[in-house]
Amino acid sequence: MRDVAKRAGVSISTVSHVVNNSRPVSNSARQRVIQAMDELGYKPNALARSLRQQKTNSIGLIVPDSANPFFAEVARGIEDTSFDQNYSVILCNSDGNLDKQAIYTNLLIERQVAGILFVAAGVSTELVDDLHRRRVPLVIIDREIPNVSVDTVLTNHYQGGFLATQHLIDLGHLRIACISAGSELSPSAERVTGYRDALETSGIAFDQSLVVRGDFQYESGYHAAHKLLQKEAPPTAVFASNDLMAVGCISAITESGMRVPDQISVVGFDDVKLASFSNPPLTTIAQPKREIGELATEILLARIQDLDAPQRFERLETSLIVRRSTCKLKRN
């Protein structure tokens, strides 16, 4: 900056005001500073500037698994919105582990991020309370943490589970299985509740033996489907709590010599891009993934500007996308 000031014939403080846009500078002086910066190849040191301001133009994003297409598509919405507002994104994977989530949270704070977005690895009110005490702007995505006042953006998981199951009921299916991902995760629990309520609303008895646990990964859907197919009276339809498990389920059904949807219909959840290209193309519940990322980022950036603004809780709607993995039940 000293070299730039000398070449431009201005003070170092004037160069600083031009770089940081911290005070009005005459057009003549500004142009001389910019020309001197170009001639000298001077690039402002963002890290040094952030140390002085104790804040960076970056935000942290913590997800359970960035390889999961759902989180990847949400992250893209976050990154694009952040970029448009001159923020960069630091991505961390918690692997669904609360300890790892806490470690990454502290690391992001040490990196002086302006705020944090995260998909909660589990119910951790202590972490949220600690971030509030430290005045760290925070938005929770996809999963609700009960009894905590925090900005949250998620979808209506219950509605999606109900829609998926009702679609199968409307096609004549009565013996409908569900591949869940555990009751400790609010999205999975709410989707299963929607599944159960849709059955009971139609007068179909809920059968706990038809609910098999997975973990949101392909393999778990594959193994869960094999368990269901081994039953004395296997289901005629399956609702999987996400698209990855649904694709794993279809693979197991096909491997067993059965056909989807002629013998077993399958519905997923998320509508990731893969769903359109599975074999057969997957009927699924669509979440507005990009909108989730965009809205969460907008709320976080607003929170950065005003830590004491009223909390926001946004629950977005889901929709049924019918493709070729479901059909009317064929009676023998």
Pair 70, 270: CB distance under 8 Å? yes
Q: Report pLDDT for 18.
A: 83
Same domain (yes/no): 30, 80:
no
Same domain (yes/no): 123, 208:
no
Same domain (yes/no): 191, 263:
yes
Distance of CA 17 to the CA centre of its chain: 39
Q: Report pLDDT for 320.
A: 98
Is 245 inside a domain boundary? yes
Q: Report pLDDT for 48.
A: 53
Cis peptide before 64 (omega within 30 of 0): no
How much is the pTM?
A: 0.83
Is 263 inside a domain boundary? yes
Domain count, the chain: 3
Structure tokens at 123: 């119910």
Question: Which sign, positive or negative, has the C-alpha torsion 281, 285, 288, 289?
Answer: negative
Same domain (yes/no): 300, 280:
no
Is 328 inside a domain boundary? no
Same domain (yes/no): 152, 232:
no
Pair 198, 169: CB distance under 8 Å? yes
Is 278 inside a domain boundary? yes
Q: Report pLDDT for 25.
A: 86
Any idea what the CATH number is for the domain that residue 97 is in?
Answer: 3.40.50.2300
Is 322 inside a domain boundary? no
Any idea what the CATH number is for the domain that residue 34 is in?
Answer: 1.10.260.40
Full domain range(s) for residue 214: 157-287
> Distance between CA atoms of 139 and 141, rounded to whole angstroms?
6
Q: Report pLDDT for 51.
A: 47
CA distances from 179 to 1, 107, 217 (A): 61, 35, 11
Structure tokens at 40: 């000298």
> Distance between CA atoms of 237 and 325, rounded to whole angstroms?
10
Is 321 inside a domain boundary? no
Ramachandran bin of 152, using left for φ above 0, alpha for ψ from -120 to 50, beta for the remaining angles:
beta
Same domain (yes/no): 235, 293:
no
Same domain (yes/no): 232, 252:
yes
Is 240 inside a domain boundary? yes
Same domain (yes/no): 177, 229:
yes
pLDDT tens digits in sequence order for the chain, 332 residues long: 889 899 999 998 888 888 877 678 898 998 998 899 888 888 776 545 544 555 679 999 999 999 999 999 999 999 999 999 999 999 999 998 888 999 999 999 988 999 999 987 766 688 888 888 889 999 999 988 888 889 999 999 999 999 999 999 999 999 999 999 877 778 999 999 999 999 999 999 999 999 999 999 999 999 999 999 999 999 999 999 999 999 999 999 999 999 999 999 999 999 999 999 999 999 999 999 999 999 999 999 999 999 999 999 999 999 999 999 999 998 76
- Closest by alpha carbon to 238, among 284, 188, 182? 284
Same domain (yes/no): 278, 231:
yes
Q: Report pLDDT for 143.
A: 87
Contacts of 137 (CB under 8 A, 6+ apart): 114, 115, 116, 300, 303, 304, 307
Is 260 inside a domain boundary? yes
Q: Report pLDDT for 287.
A: 97
Ramachandran bin of 96, using left for φ above 0, alpha for ψ from -120 to 50, beta for the remaining angles:
left
Q: Report pLDDT for 147.
A: 81
Pair 142, 314: CB distance under 8 Å? no
What are the backbone dihedrals phi and psi of residue 283, each rounded to the nearest 5 degrees, phi first?
Answer: -70, 135
Same domain (yes/no): 216, 103:
no
Same domain (yes/no): 167, 115:
no
Strands 211-213, 237-240: pairing kind: unpaired
3-state SS, the chain, equals: CHHHHHHHCCCHHHHHHHHHCCCCCCHHHHHHHHHHHHHHCCCCCHHHHHHHHCCCCEEEEEECCCCCHHHHHHHHHHHHHHHHCCCEEEEEECCCCHHHHHHHHHHHHHCCCCEEEECCCCCCHHHHHHHHHCCCCEEEECCCCCCCCCEEEEECHHHHHHHHHHHHHHCCCCCEEEEECCCCCHHHHHHHHHHHHHHHHCCCCCCHHHEEECCCCHHHHHHHHHHHHCCCCCCCEEEECCHHHHHHHHHHHHHCCCCCCCCCEEEEEECCHHHHHCCCCCEEEECCHHHHHHHHHHHHHHHHHCCCCCCCEEEECCEEECCCCCCCCCCC
Q: Report pLDDT for 209.
A: 96
Same domain (yes/no): 233, 261:
yes
